[in-house]
Amino acid sequence: MAEEPWSFRPACDPPAGVDLTGWRVQAVDGPVGEVDEHSEETGNAFLVVDAGGWIFGKLLIPAGAVRRIDREGRTLHLSLRRGQVEDAPQYLPDLHRADREYREDIVDYYWKAGPC
């Protein structure tokens, strides 16, 4: 995974001015969900993924976990396994949006597991 978890990798920057909301999110071994919200802010870039029917709620994924962007297919490919995402701490926007400790926990969770 990228060294800076809260920034997109240079080769994976989203197209300028493109809203990623609704784009599919794909782990290395299967679909994860769709982008519900995102930020491209340097040092604070992330995806909020609506995981749909296979997990309750939304998930916060640091932008550094994006390994490839398929612009034609409107799909973001992660360097994570589906199981890693399934077991991630749930994201509750009202509680976690500005919670620095939660964001540190998210980075620890994804980066400790290491790349797939």
**The pLDDT of residue 114:** 56
The residue whose two tokens read 């998930």 is 59
* Average pLDDT estimate for 18-23: 94
C-alpha angle 95-106-36 in degrees, rounded to nearest 5: 65
**The pLDDT of residue 62:** 95
Q: What b/e readout covers 94-111, taking b as 16+ CB neighbours within 10 angstroms? A: eebeeeeeebeebeeebb
pTM of the entire predicted model = 0.89
Per-residue tokens: 6: 């809260």
Candidate from 1-10, 52-61, 105-114 with smallest mean pLDDT: 52-61
Q: What confidence category does residue 2 fall into, taking pLDDT thresholds of 50, 70 and 90?
A: low
Tens digits of per-residue pLDDT, 37-89? 999 888 899 999 998 765 567 899 999 999 999 999 999 999 999 989 888 88
Question: Residue 39 and residue 23: Cα distance in Å, rounded?
Answer: 14
**The pLDDT of residue 53:** 63
Per-residue tokens: 63: 């932008």
Side-chain-side CA neighbours of 46 within 13 Å: the count stands at: 20
Question: Residue 113 and residue 116: Cα distance in Å, rounded?
Answer: 8
**The pLDDT of residue 38:** 94
